[in-house]
Structure 1
Amino acid sequence: MEILPNDPLNSLNQKSECEKRICVIGAAAGGLIALKVISDSAYVKSGKWSVTAYEARTNLGGIWFPSPPVADSYGVPLTPLYDSLTTNLPHPIMGYTSYSFPPETPLFPRAHVVQTYLESFAAHFNLMPLIKFGTTVLDARWESTQWVITLSNGEQLAYDHLVVANGHYHIPRIPDLPGLADWVKHGKAFHSVWYRKPDFLGNKVLIVGGGPSGNDIAAEMCTVSTVVVHALSKPPAADDLSPDNLILRGRAIEFRANGQVIFEDGTVEDNIDHCILATGFQNHLPFLEGSSMINKSMPPDIPPLIPGELFNSTYHIFPLEKHLFPLQTRYPVSSVAFMGLLMWTSPFPLMEAQAHAIVRAFADPSSLDPITEAADIIARAEKLRSAGASTSLAVAKAWVRFVEDEQWVYRDELYEFAGGVGSETGTPPIKVREWEKECFDLRAEMRSAWEGLEKSGKAGEWLKDVGKNGVQDWVDLMYRVLDYARRCSSSASARL
């Protein structure tokens, strides 16, 4: 890009007292914690760094900020948030470690409570002046020594670093299955991004997808449909709590024009009136794809790992050092960080740890070790293959899914890196606590018991004054709820 004498980029490219200018893309949970941690650093407080976030919407919060099911410029709603959504994690392990939910907050809060929490977080740490709302980053490209970004208001600005925190719950993933595109074309199937509440769509409805939204939508549709067929990769055995009009099936493999759907075990369901696809979302980075800063395709098989380019397979961004920093040769590895890509985790505190690691890497690029990280990436690929991911696509799908203790090890390693030898970030050594691990593993039992307490009207009594004395109040409550769940289960077993 040619910079003309009177171009605003000309003055921006001249170093002032600010040594690093940092651009954060997105002001949802990831962007907010990045703003908080970066602005808390000695580098910003001394005036050596500055940080600004750009948010396309009129308020912060991302998926937690509601929007009607109306198409945006990409032809889909701004958020997949449905009316009844509650968290599937108890908020004491969901929230940032630096900021708790208010006392007496329901253990599994509704979406509007999470949105209020994020707004309160931003106000408490004075982040609002750092956010430019209603402003989309249209393009970001590395020019010589800086990132040049083009904004929706026509401005072009230069930054030393980017933090990509635009989320990955926007562009729907529609499975490539025989006949399904025709169902979508004729309005017989739609993605769950459009779903808001259980409306009557016919006597027999199919829900595809076994994630949290698929489970919630299947349960809700049972209240308005005669029959609901729920297709999952690994259908569980029906239990006494399953609605009588719910049928569990395996993976759907073919959609026929006459309303038939074929499943992988050969089962056929006739007379399907409508299908809701809770089939996930794609990684979407249009501001990097237009300028060829990322290759939107499947990366080559590894080993060996030859990090010439960065790839977006739509399932994962690859290869990333520490699941954050792009191992490629087009621009400095430490010049950009991709937040919040990992799944099956407790995302807010995980992104908080990522933010501390980002400050360390931006402050000291030499702290990154591409050779060691490349070896770790190859080792992860081999581990996933040995666990059954036999194709490149299977590896890509599994890459961001953290299982067993992986998220806890990762969080501890990020904090160790952030406050490691030679670090000047002042990051405290925040270790994952044992109750976080235990309560995360038992979250489903806890949620079921909590829903029972809410239905019985007892939840308010259980919440009275909880949280006023700090986090231990919440820990004690979660273990009380788990004990209640076990007692209820024992009583139910005794009645059989």
Structure 2
Amino acid sequence: MVHRRQRVAVIGAGVSGVASARHLKAAGVDVVVFERYKAAGGNWTYDERKPIEPQYPSIKPSVADFVAELEGEAEASRPGVKNEATLDLDQEELRFAPPGPAYSGLMNNVPTSLQEMKGHPWPMGTESYVNVRVKQQYIQSYSKSFGIEPLIRYDTRVEKLRKIGSKWEVRSTTLIREGPNRGQKVRAVEEFDSVVVASGHYHAARVPDFPGLKEWKITWPDRVYHSKCYRNPSELKDKTALILGAGVSSTDIARESHHGAKKIYQSSRGGTFDTPLDWVPPNTERVAGIASFEIPQEGQDKPANITLTDGTVLTGVDKVIIATGYLFSLPFLVDLHDDSLSPENANDTILVTDGSQIHNLHKDIFYIPDPTLAFVGIPFYTATFTLFEYQAIAVAAVFSGFAQTPSEAEMRAEYAEKTKTKGYGRTFHSLLNAQVEYVNSLVEWVNSQADTTGGAKVQGHSQEWIEESKLVHPKFLKFLESRVNGHRVGDDLVPVAVAV
């Protein structure tokens, strides 16, 4: 079977991006990877700089990550941001490629043995739970081992993506970070046969619209911030802190900070993604949801009161960390956003409505109206590294011509059935207790066409992997018990206070 050599753009150089590039390259595809940051690693890149805070409350998802800069087109205003000419270069670099949500003590919550990628073992002696720096090193080592580094254009952000005829037009901006031309931007327009969006979904911070929260942020900007800006337990030392949200990030921040903090409150609305109460550390109290923040008086320094939905009033709160998650945001595909719609009213072409999910994807990967657009890295509650690699393998098989997606009608029918079963919102992309079934479906689909197309057959998860995955929850609880101020007692990890 003769396959025309394809040219594919990959957006993002985190684990999903480098995995996509590796398998596309191996399948004989010409690949270009666009990465707006200066290094590979994605969410597992620790940067001590803090990103610029989002607007309070969140703005519409289509511009919640960034507003595209397009030469010759009017640029939408950025609330709270001065004219670009007045920004200093450090601020411009922060705005162009904001640091991610990784904090200094961040560690994985799925064992490394379940996140080992094909043909790339973890270094000898790697523990089950490791610091963020180890995870980034693994991604970068993977990229170098499979010859992906030369394919990555760092400091390059995709501004707009659109289909023109049979090609995808990619408009990008490269920010010069070094030398006499630092701060200058170079625009480019290129054509590709297909595109893989591997940019992740932990960029656009979600800030709820609680009464008084905006006023607190204005009055005490350093006391109120999103968890994306949290970096170190020292921020809560000797403080009474309120963390909004009770998910994994909120609980981990509480757990690594509770020894130094005076008191931590964790506010929960009783949501689907709340961590179990036995994960909550000592000195941390889970309380009800937020009703309102008392409006500060002009010149007030002492923290105002916070009223909860059960009528409880919290006093003396020094810090508020907003760990309420993120919005799905695809600013380079703004034409496929509709901020005015609820998820239930999404049509058959839209990708993002209120930011709670991505619509119209077959198996959370292929854009149903046009499968030459694919996404890798959407699902969560899963062993991300291995799961995303299987998605990348499926994409490579299709984009290289060794597999075909089902008909649009078949994909639409499967999507409708999934919607009926899972409903709308973030739960739509959850693979909790379903990764093996999902991977098997991808493997069986790719392998069913391999004999006809000449493609390579794929091996799914081993029985050993499957058995170990059943033990994740008890193993993680044991790990949590040993978590102290960003490192583990008895570990050889460098304590975060002196980490380099």
Q: Same fold (TM over 0.5)?
A: yes
Offset at residue 97 of structure 1 (A): 3.4
Question: What RMSD, in angstroms, separates the aligned Cα atoms of the two structures?
Answer: 2.8
User: Aligned runs of 1:231-250 on 2, under 5 Å?
Assistant: 231-234=267-270, 242-243=281-282, 245-250=283-288
Task: Give the match for residue 218 of structure 2.
Answer: 185
Distance 1:407 1:451, change over 3 A: closer
Task: Give the match for residue 155 of structure 1.
Answer: 188
Give the total of aligned pairs: 419
**Partner residue of 1:430 out of 459, 467, 488:** 459
Secondary structure in 1 aligned to 2:264? strand
User: Contact 2:37 / 2:97 at 8 angstroms: preserved in 1?
Assistant: no
User: Contact 1:359 / 1:418 at 8 angstroms: preserved in 2?
Assistant: no
Secondary structure in 2 aligned to 1:181? helix
Task: Give the match for residue 122 of structure 2.
Answer: 101
Distance 2:392 2:439 in 1: 11
Distance 1:240 1:145, change over 3 A: closer
Letter in 2 for 1:118: I
Distance 1:350 1:37 in 2: 14
**Partner residue of 1:357 out of 394, 415, 433:** 394
Question: Is 1:20 the equivalent of 2:6?
Answer: yes
**Partner residue of 2:229 out of 188, 194, 201:** 194
Distance 1:201 1:455 in 2: 18
Distance 1:353 1:237 in 2: 30
Letter in 2 for 1:320: L
Letter in 1 for 2:305: Q
Task: Give the match for residue 475 of structure 1.
Answer: none
Distance 2:248 2:366 in 1: 29
User: Contact 2:258 / 2:281 at 8 angstroms: preserved in 1?
Assistant: no
Task: Give the match for residue 336 of structure 1.
Answer: 373
Distance 1:62 1:83 in 2: 15
Offset at residue 185 of structure 1 (A): 2.7
User: Aligned runs of 1:207-226 on 2, under 5 Å?
Assistant: 207-226=243-262
Q: Mean Cα displacement is larger for which, 212-221 or 342-351?
A: 212-221
Distance 2:422 2:275 in 1: 24
Distance 2:280 2:352 in 1: 44
Distance 1:204 1:88 in 2: 26
User: Aligned runs of 1:463-474 on 2, under 5 Å?
Assistant: none
Offset at residue 96 of structure 1 (A): 1.6
Structure (1/2) with the larger helix percentage:
1
Distance 1:168 1:281 in 2: 7
Distance 1:114 1:418, change over 3 A: same
Q: Which runs of 5+ in 1 are unaligned?
A: 1-16, 386-394, 461-496
Q: Mean Cα displacement is larger for which, 415-424 or 70-79?
A: 70-79
Task: Give the match for residue 443 of structure 1.
Answer: 472
Secondary structure in 2 aligned to 1:318? coil
Task: Give the match for residue 344 of structure 2.
Answer: 301
Q: Which runs of 5+ in 2 are unaligned?
A: 53-92, 174-185, 297-303, 494-500
Offset at residue 360 of structure 1 (A): 2.7
Distance 1:313 1:241, change over 3 A: closer
For residues 259-284 of structure 1, the C-alpha deviation after alignment (integer angstroms, 9 at most, x for no partner) is 33233333332232221011111222
Where relative contact order (Cα < 8 A, 6+ residues apart) is larger, the structure is 2
User: Aligned runs of 1:77-476 on 2, under 5 Å?
Assistant: 77-152=98-173, 153-186=186-219, 187=221, 188-198=223-233, 199-200=235-236, 203-234=239-270, 242-243=281-282, 245-257=283-295, 259-289=304-334, 292-298=335-341, 301=344, 307-328=348-369, 333-364=370-401, 366-385=404-423, 395-404=424-433, 406-421=434-449, 424=453, 426-450=455-479, 457=490
For residues 426-470 of structure 1, the C-alpha deviation after alignment (integer angstroms, 9 at most, x for no partner) is 33332223443443343242134346678563889xxxxxxxxxx
TM-score by length of 2: 0.77
User: Contact 2:104 / 2:232 at 8 angstroms: preserved in 1?
Assistant: yes
Letter in 2 for 1:165: A
Larger Rg: 1
For residues 25-69 of structure 1, the C-alpha deviation after alignment (integer angstroms, 9 at most, x for no partner) is 11110110001111111xx1xxxx311111111111112222211
Distance 1:437 1:231, change over 3 A: farther
Question: Is 1:51 the equivalent of 2:31?
Answer: yes
Distance 1:221 1:76, change over 3 A: farther
